[in-house]
Amino acid sequence: MKKIIIFFILSFSFLLFAQETRFIEVTGTANIEYPADQINWKVSIKKIEDTFSESKNDTEAALKELVEILNINGIDKNDIQISPLQQGRHYDHDGRSRIFSRKPRYANRICSRYSGRKYHYCTLSKSV
C-alpha cells in the first residue's frame, strides 16, 4: 500500500512539472536589404511659353540635353522611349476654377526606360 501511495505521489509531482510551459521572448529589429533587379524611370519635360513654337523649341533642347547625358552614362538612344510631342493651352487654377495663364502654351515630352542593369543609375543620378 505504501508503494502505491508513493507511486501516485511521484506520478502527480511529475505531472505538475510537465504543465509548466517554456518560452523564449526576443525583442529587437532587423533590416534586410535586397538589390533591385529592375529599374523603371520616367522623365517628363514640360515647357510653358507664349507660343507653341517657343515651348516646342525649349522642350526639344531640354530633351536633346537629357539624351546627351544618358549617352555619356552608357545608355543608348535606342534603349529609351520618347513620347511624341504634346502641345496644348496652359491653365492655372485658383482652387475653384481654372484661369487662363500669362504664358498660354505648353509642350511636353516624356522619356522613359526599363532596365535590369542597375549599375548605370548611381552615376546617372549624379549627372542629371
What is residue 19's DSSP assignment?
A: T
> What are 19-39's pLDDT values in tens digits?
567 778 888 888 888 776 677
- What per-residue confidence (pLDDT) applies to 117? 55
Tens digit of each residue's pLDDT (9 = 90 or more) over 70-117: 888 877 778 788 888 888 887 777 777 777 666 678 888 888 876 655
Contacts of 82 (CB under 8 A, 6+ apart): 63, 109, 110, 111
Contact between 77 and 64 (Cβ < 8 Å): no
CA distance linking residue 88 with residue 63, whole number of Å: 18
Question: Which three three-digit cell numbers place residue 13?
Answer: 509531482
**Where exactly are the structural domains of the chain?**
39-120
Q: Which of 24 and 12 is assigned the larger pLDDT?
A: 24
For residue 71, the model assigns a pLDDT of: 85
Domain 39-120, CATH homologous superfamily name and number: Protein of unknown function (DUF541), domain 2 (3.30.70.2970)
